[in-house]
Amino acid sequence: MEAFSKFVLSLDRRWIFLVLLLVLFIPIACPLNLPGLKPSPGVTRMYDFVENMPEGSTILISFDFDPASKPELAPMGEAMLRHAFRKKLKVVAMGLWVTGVSLEKETVERIAKEANVTYGDDYVNLGWKAGSVAVITGMGEDIHNTFPTDAKGNPVGSLKIMQRVHRLKDFDLVVSLAAGTPGIDTWIAYGSDKYKFKMGGGTTAVNAPAMSPYLQANQLVGLIGAMRGAAEYEFLLDKPGDAIRGMDAISLGHYLIVGLILMGNIAYFFTRSRKGVAA
Amino acid sequence: MMAILGVWVAVGLTLFMFSFLYKDNPFYKVGENLYVGITIGYSLVKLIFETWIPNVWRVVHPEAGVWFENHEWWLILPPLFLGSLILTRFVPKYAWLSRWTFAFVVGYGSGLAIPAVQKQAEATAHPLVTHIESFDSADKAATEAEKKATDLAASKGAGSDEAIKARIDADEYRERANAAKARKDAVSAAGARADKARAAANDARKQADEMAKKGPADSEEVHAAQKKATLAERAAIGAEMATWTAYSKSEYSVLTAWGDFTTIVLFIGVFSVLFYFFFSIEHKGPVKVFSRLGIIFLMIYFGASYGYTVMGRLSLLYGRLVILRDACYPSVGFATPVLLVAMITVLVVLHFQNKDKEENA
Amino acid sequence: MIRVAAIFLLTAAALRAQSFEKLEVLDAPGDAGGAAWVIWKRLPAESDEEGAKRITYVVSVAKDATGDFEEVARFPATAKFMSDNTEAFGWSKKTADWHAVKVDAPGYEDGSAANFPVYAKVVALSAESEIASGTASGIARPNWLTASKFNVFVFIALLGGVMMFLIARARRNSEIFVRRIPGLDAMEEAIGRATEMGKPILFLNGLNDMSSISTIASTAILGQVAKRVATYDTQILVPCFDPVVMAVSQEVMREGFISAGRPDSYRPDSAFFVTSDQFGYVAAVDGIMMREKPAACFYMGYYYAESLLLAETGGTTGAIQIAGTDSVTQLPFFIASCDYTLLGEELYAASAYLSREPIQLGSLIAQDWGKLFVLAAIVIGTVLALFHVQTFVHMVATY
Amino acid sequence: MLHLKRTVPLAIAFLSGILLLIQYFVPHPWSAKFLQYTSDWQVTLAYAALLLGVGSLVQSHVTKARRKAPGWGFSAVALAAFGITVAMGMWWSVHTAWQSRTDASIVTTGSGEGSPLSWVYNSLLFPMGGAMFSILGFFIASAAFRAFRVKSPEATLLLLSAIVVMLGQVPLGAHLPGIPQLSAWLLSVPTTAAKRAIGFGVALGSIATALRVIFGIERAYLGGE
């Protein structure tokens, strides 16, 4: 026991780094699907809303984040796209953050390819346009005016989905996956409050507490909070992805830290009691 | 080509910075100095094009100046003057002139800070014990007040001050009675919703069980039905909880008592922590009891906040690792493994070299 | 049924028989201009709730008496009273008898400092009839004072007054008791240890610029530290996040060395600029820590997410670490990784505590009086709230 | 001379402080304008401040490199990185301005979309910043290991509340009886109380410090003679 205490108390912190690195890497290498995920009300409400949308409804997903928030928000986008394509909904994607344009494009194309849907008929990518608030209010009046062409340069009027939607009100659901401002609050203040459409949201751990009042006030049909929320959505969707893996990794990280603290205290306890006897 | 180069550079620099976790080493030093050099260069360029040109240059050369449209041109003189004073620091003899600018900056910050912090001082004053008025008593009080108002209006005239006052009082009582009624109604409404949700959940569960009995228990439909039942049950529990919440708002219950307890704890916490911070009294006697209580609150706060942040920090780290994983594939030329192996090799060689040096010395 | 019909007829009759007693247009007090209040006394027909429910008010405004009146508000008589707008009309009970609607002056532009005339009309509609008021007018003007911030002014004036009084008293009688602050006592010890070990001291001013109060406080502490460093003849490193903070640090340290009587050992390049990028700064400072292996690290001022990156690296070099910050979110990390942490306002108290100058200590005691005031306010407010008396809360509320 | 060194700066601090303070109580549009101008001045002042910073950086690295002090090569890296970044930014804006001489507004694109600096930002600054930031993940583990020990009753509370909240965060913890509720309660009640009290103290302390600056009692920032 003495040897153990000595070892633990003089443990070089670099060993902790190495173990933490391995623990976080395990789920990346091979998925674990740790049990215990319990969907929160916000995520359940969001999932149920999409689940109950009739086939052929249109949904707008706005990717309002940059690569820094990718681990938390990109999985939400993937899960929602998968869900929408599975329910045969028509998806329009866009983004308000210029730094997130390429990420948005890559995500949408990858999931569309996976779901085997066709561009223009099943999904459209409008891309990014400068102005945030002006973009939202412009889309509230006339989307074709705000986005004359899509991200690929096609005239928007030539796309089948876009012939059905002309203003934000025409969408059955608008979702903003946002890492800050412009984001959910911008969409609510300048969009849904004024033009009256259904809004859903996804956000990072840091921003989630600030957004939850919108959920309580029913200004959002649902709210996905942080990587945990994304994992819960994937769980409801029955399609484990990056978020569930991430949640596994982060859970393991938490267990490791708690374990380290306990181990340190056991070691500390033994050295202390020994000293007590000696004194 | 530029994109792949970008990936290699990004992965390499990430690994350079991470190598600090092992120990200070040449890779980290390169990364660190690159970082410092680039950030200063970057902010200098941004400053020139985003501050100097629009705010200063354009005012002197009015083409499409942003400032020029919004401000009078002479308004750039004070900042130009104060800015030049900062530059006197390059001339030691006149360096003291820069103090004028510091005085402006510090004074400005102080003047701005005073009202800004005032906003925090909104009081924590809440009743420590919730008093919930039942509808019956509120209704009684309202009826009485209304009668009094009518009587006064009859005896002293509707326009008299006393009558107006009585009428306003009566309105207030009536409002309170209406609120009590709304609370009462909310309980029964929530109860009805909960019953409905529970029934739906039972139905869903039954259906799922039947399906499992009939068909192969492992089929996808059964899974879906079971999942649906679980979700419905969860919704029912939520609805039942909502009934409870509504109930505890309409009558004093365990939940209300818990709320009061929370308010009292909050009150004691604010009180004792503020007490801990007093500078002019020594921490002994009853003061010690309070300040120790304050320390307890502080410790819980520190622990809880620390624990709460772990999630966010690990997510960040995980995100970086995913980026490193994404650079493992052939499409980007195996950037992560190649760079990792190369770096480890160099570090091992350096380690042995240093060891030799130490032994020779 | 008969009762309802009777009330209905009565109201209709009453409304027909009455007219607007008083209608006024008032400048909205304490604003930047462009807004006015249209107020009028409740009609007698509103005397009971049923009657009030039947009346709808329509308010319209215009630029001049003959101009086009534009409808700006339409609402039932059960809503919009003066008493709902306490920031403008105060808490008197009488205000419940007046309706009040805030209107924008026609033609007003944001930021305009001119006066705008407002002409207003009100019409009371019921199913049976409608009565129109006459036209009232007023001027919407920008104001120089606001009453709603008066409590803030009183509080600041009180605190300033108490501070001046205590400073004056401290000048006469320099015996002032201040409790021990272990973190600050440890500073002296840490500087001594650094001298013994022949290693430098690292002092950080935080990541805010010079206009932030935390930075002002941290440079004041640096002055005290520099004095001791000069006496002990220790080396000090001050990597800065902001160039102005760097220059101020140099001035402060020079003064410290001079007052310790060793102006010749002051080296201006001991305070130097690193970069104004958050993590670039951290990378460089962490590097300095690993190479210079300081005997003591002082983290004073305001910090963001980098707190733990700095303090955890400093901890592994074996330095004594003392942090002081008013950044509430970062305190837990300093607590976990530093030997001593000055919590919140202790940072502001530090330079007074270290300098032991009576004037400074006097102002420190003023902070205690302020806290006493806040404590008293909370207790009084809580007791009154128990009896549903809101007056006190109204007095301290900020707008 | 002493007046210029001492009295004038104290007067400037007093004036700017008191004017900004009065500004808060004056709703008139001119007051808002005054606030806007003075805060714009702060932004413009930054140009001179940064030049001071650049001077300090170049000076310290050049001395190191010239003296060939140990590790001077790394100083050369920093200087080169600085020089190349500035050169690239300047070249790009001059280049684009030349190409579209008719449109003067294009001159502001020193770091705009598609420029070399935006590549530098995405491929160099962003990964390095992200990597430094994510090192926090490692440090939060090692700091917890070293700091959270049952050394005293207070330290025990620190440790217990940290563990409860950590367990409350992970999915499995939600199944431990009482943990999620306790965790939420700790975060909402004692935490709020402590934060609020610290906030009061900080507010009072900064008002007091600000008043000291305005009235010239706190003058350390001005240095000595």
Question: Which residues of chain C make contact with B306, given a CB cutoff of 8 A?
Answer: 332-333, 336
Contact partners, residue C367, CB within 8 Å, separation at least 6: B279, C345, C348, C349, D201, D204, D205, D208
Would you give the end-to-end CA distance of chain A in angstroms? 19
Half-sphere exposure of D167 (CA within 13 A, CB side): 20
Rounded to 5 degrees, φ, ψ at B289 are -60, -50
The three-state secondary structure class of C137 is strand
Query: CA A160 to CA A206: how far, in whole Å?
Result: 38
What is the identity of the amino acid at D5?
Answer: K
Q: Does C177 contact B at CB distance below 8 Å?
A: yes
Provide the shortest C-alpha distance from residue D123 to chain B (in Å).
5
Find residues 96-115 of chain B whose CB sits inside 8 Å of chain D: 96, 99-115
CB-based contacts of D123-126 (< 8 A; 24+ apart in sequence): D123/B5, D123/B6, D123/B7, D123/B9, D123/B10, D124/B9, D124/B10, D124/B13, D124/B34, D124/B38, D125/B35, D125/B38, D125/B39, D125/B42, D125/C277, D126/A67, D126/A68, D126/B10
Question: Which tens digit of pLDDT belongs to each residue from C7-65?
Answer: 444 444 455 556 777 888 888 888 888 888 888 888 777 766 677 778 888 898 888 88
How does pLDDT run across C246-259, given as a tens digit for each residue? 999 999 999 999 99
User: CA B70: distance to chain centroid?
Assistant: 35
- Residue D55 gets the label, from left (phi > 0), alpha (psi -120 to 50) or beta, of alpha
Q: Are A173 and A200 in contact (CB under 8 A)?
A: yes
Q: Environment class of residue B214 by beta-carbon count within 10 Å: exposed (0-12), middle (13-18) or buried (19+)? A: exposed
The residue among C150, C273, C379 with the most chain D CBs within 10 A of its CB, best to mutate, is C273
Q: Are D26 and D40 in contact (CB under 8 A)?
A: no
The CA distance from B86 to the nearest CA of chain D, in Å, is 6
CB of C277 closer than 8 Å to CB of B39: yes
Q: Which helix H or strand E contains C243, and what residues bound it?
A: helix C243-259
List residues of chain D with CB under 8 Å from any CB of chain A: 113, 126, 130, 137-138, 140-142, 144-146, 148-151, 159, 162-163, 166-167, 169-175
In angstroms, the separation between the Cα of residue B21 and the nearest Cα of chain A is 7
Which SS3 state, helix, strand or coil, does residue C125 take?
A: strand
Task: List all residues of chain B from 125 to 144 with a beta carbon under 8 Å from chain C.
Answer: 125-129
Separation in Å, CA of B24 to nearest CA in chain A: 13
Count CB-CB contacts under 10 A for residue C381. Answer: 22
Query: Which string of b and e fits B146-158 if b means at least 16 CB within 10 Å?
Result: bebbbebbeeeee
Tens digit of pLDDT per residue, chain B (361 long)?
A: 777 888 999 999 999 999 999 989 999 999 999 999 999 999 898 888 777 777 776 666 655 444 445 556 777 888 889 999 999 999 988 889 999 999 999 999 999 888 766 555 554 555 566 667 778 888 888 888 888 888 888 888 776 777 777 877 787 788 888 888 888 888 888 899 889 989 998 998 898 888 888 877 677 778 778 878 887 887 788 788 888 888 887 777 787 888 888 888 988 998 899 989 998 888 888 888 888 999 999 999 999 999 998 988 998 899 899 889 888 888 888 999 999 999 999 999 999 988 887 777 6
Nearest to C154 by CA among C395, C366, C381: C395
**Positions of chain A with pLDDT lower than 70, given as ranges:** 273-279
Residue C328 host element (H or E):
none
The pLDDT score that the predictor gives to residue D110 is 55
Backbone angles phi, psi at C124, to 5 degrees: -100, 120
For the beta carbon of residue B64, count every other beta carbon within 10 angstroms. 12
Backbone angles phi, psi at C112, to 5 degrees: -80, 140
What is the structure's pLDDT at C292? 93
- The C-alpha atoms of residue A260 and residue C150 are separated, in whole angstroms, by 55
Residues A220, A193 contacting (CB under 8 angstroms): no
E-assigned strand segments in chain A: 58-64, 90-95, 123-128, 173-178, 199-203, 223-225
DSSP structure class, residue B24: -
The minimum CA-CA distance between A162 and chain B, rounded to whole Å, is: 32
For residue B6 the two structure tokens come to 């970008």
D105 — pLDDT class (breaks 50, 70, 90):
very low
D3 CA: distance to closest CA in chain C (Å): 17
- CB-based contact A145:A138 (threshold 8 Å): yes
User: How many other C-beta atoms are found inside a 10 Å radius of the C-beta of residue C247?
Assistant: 28
Q: Return the residue in B315, B328, B351 with the most chain A beta carbons within 10 A, the one to mutate for interface testing.
A: B315
Could you tell me which residues come within 8 angstroms of residue B173 by beta carbon, excluding any fewer than 6 positions away? B138, B141, B142, B144, B145, B146
Estimate to the nearest angstrom the gap between the alpha carbon of D183 and the chain centroid. 31
Taking Cα atoms as reference points, which of C303, C85, C296, C315 lies closest to residue C191? C296
Work out the number of other CB atoms within 10 angstroms of the CB of residue B355.
10
Q: State mean pLDDT over D79-102.
A: 81
Tell me the average pLDDT across D137-164: 94
- Residue C276 main-chain phi, psi, to 5 deg: -95, 25
C327 vs D contacts (CB less than 8 Å): none
Residues of A with a Cβ under 8 Å from any D Cβ are 11, 13, 16-17, 20-21, 24, 34-38, 67-68, 98, 228, 231, 247, 250-251, 253-258, 260-261, 264-265, 268-269
For chain D, positions 101-130, list CB contacts with chain B under 8 A.
104-105, 107-111, 117, 119-128, 130
Q: How many CB atoms lie within 10 A of CB D192?
A: 18
**Neighbour count for residue B76 (Cβ, 10 Å):** 23
By percentage, how much of chain C surpasses pLDDT 70? 90
CA A26, CA B327: separation in Å to the nearest integer?
17
Collect all residues with Cβ–Cβ distance below 8 Å to C155 and sequence separation of at least 6.
Answer: B118, B121, C373
Give the gyration radius of chain C's Cα atoms: 32
pLDDT at A210: 79
DSSP letters spanning D95-145: HHHHHTTT-GGGGG-TT-TTSHHHHHIIIIIHHHHHHHHHHHHHHHHHHHH
Q: Shortest Cα distance from D96 to chain B (angstroms)?
A: 13
- Pairing state between β C98-104 and C136-140: unpaired
Chains touching chain D, criterion 3+ CB pairs below 8 Å: A, B, C
B199: contact with D, CB 8 A cutoff: no
The answer to whether residue D103 scores a pLDDT higher than 50 is no
Cβ-contact C123, C7 below 8 angstroms: no
Q: How far is residue D13's CA from residue C248's CA, in Å, rounded to a whole number?
A: 14
Interface probe for B, chosen from C46, C244, C351 (most Cβ of B below 10 Å), is C244
| Residue D224 confidence class, pLDDT cut points 50, 70, 90 | low
pLDDT less than 70: residues of chain C: 1-18, 47-49, 91, 93, 388-399
Please check whether residue C192 touches D, CB under 8 A.
no
Choose from A38, A207, A227 for mutation: most chain B CBs within 10 A.
A227
